[in-house]
Structure 1
Amino acid sequence: MNTASLVDAITYQENKPTVTVLLKTNTTKEIRIVMKEGQSMKEHKAPYPIVIELFEGSIDFGVNGEKQLLKKGDLITLDENVPHDLTCVSDCIIRLSLSNFDSVERVNNVNN
Structure 2
Amino acid sequence: MNAPAAVERSVTIANDAESLIDLLRLRTDEVASKRILKAPGFGVVRLTLDKGQTMSEHEAAVPILIQVLSGVVDIEVDGAPERFETGGIIYIAAHVRHALHAVESAHVLLALADAATRAPSDRAGVGGTEVGRADAAAEPEQDRDGADRAHAPSPEHRPLWNRAIAGARAH
Q: TM (normalized to structure 2)?
A: 0.59
Structure 1 residue 31 corresponds to structure 2 residue 45: yes
- Alignment partner, residue 4 of structure 1: 13
Runs of 5+ consecutive residues of structure 1 not aligned to the other structure? none
Letter in 1 for 2:11: N
Structure 1 residue 111 corresponds to structure 2 residue 160: yes
Shift in alpha-carbon separation, 1:110–1:62, aligned structure 2, 3 A: farther
State how 1:29-68 maps to structure 2 within 5 Å: 29-68=43-82
Shift in alpha-carbon separation, 1:110–1:100, aligned structure 2, 3 A: farther
Identity %, equivalent residues: 25
- Alignment partner, residue 79 of structure 1: 93
Runs of 5+ consecutive residues of structure 2 not aligned to the other structure? 1-9, 15-19, 116-147, 162-171
Describe the superposition over 1:18-65 as per-residue Cα deviations: whole angstroms up to 9, x where unpaired: 111112221111111011000000000111100111110011111111
Bigger RCO (CA 8 Å, 6+ sep)? 1
Find the partner of 1:14 among 15, 28, 41. Answer: 28
- Alignment partner, residue 169 of structure 2: none
**Alignment root-mean-square deviation, CA:** 1.9
More strand by percentage: 1
Residues 31, 48 of structure 2: 8 Å contact kept: yes
More helix by percentage: 2
Which has the higher Rg, Structure 1 or Structure 2? 2
